[in-house]
Amino acid sequence: MKHLVLTFFLLCSVAALTYANDDASFTGYHAVEDVIYGQKDGMGLSLDVLTPEKDAKGLGIVLISSGSWKSAKSNLLEDEERKRKDHWVQGLLKGGYTLFVVRHGSSPRYFVPEMIEDVRRAVRFVRLNAKKYNIDPNHLGITSGSSGGHLSLMVALTSDDGKPDAKDPLERISSRVQAVVAWFPPTDMINWGAPNGYKMIETIRPGFFQQVFGKVTDLETQLKTISPIYHLTKDDPPLLLIHGDADKTVPVQQSKILKAKYDELGLPVEMVIKEGGGHTYWPGILDNYAAVWNWFDRYLKPATK
Q: What three-state secondary structure class fits 133?
A: coil
Record: fold of 2-300: Rossmann fold (3.40.50)
Phi, psi for residue 84 in degrees, rounded to 5 = -65, -40
Q: Could you tell me if 141 and 181 are in contact, meaning their C-beta atoms sit under 8 angstroms apart?
A: yes
Q: What are the DSSP calls for 60-110, one per residue? A: EEEEEE-BTTB-------SHHHHHHHHHHHHHHHHTTPEEEEEE---TTTS
Confidence of residue 12 (pLDDT cuts 50, 70, 90): very low
**Residue 22 has what pLDDT?**
39
Q: For the segment 99-116, what is each residue's pLDDT rounded down to a tens digit?
A: 999 999 987 788 899 999
Pick from 53, 58, 48, 59: nearest CA to 27: 53
Q: Could you tell me if 64 and 87 are in contact, meaning their C-beta atoms sit under 8 angstroms apart?
A: no
**Residue 20 has what pLDDT?**
41
Confidence of residue 237 (pLDDT cuts 50, 70, 90): very high
Segment 140-155 mean pLDDT = 96
Cα(169)–Cα(149) distance, integer angstroms: 28
pTM, whole model, 2 decimals? Answer: 0.88
- Domain positions in the chain are 2-300
Cα(19)–Cα(133) distance, integer angstroms: 19
Q: Say if residue 178's pLDDT is above 70.
A: yes
Strands 60-65 and 239-244: unpaired
Cα(239)–Cα(153) distance, integer angstroms: 9
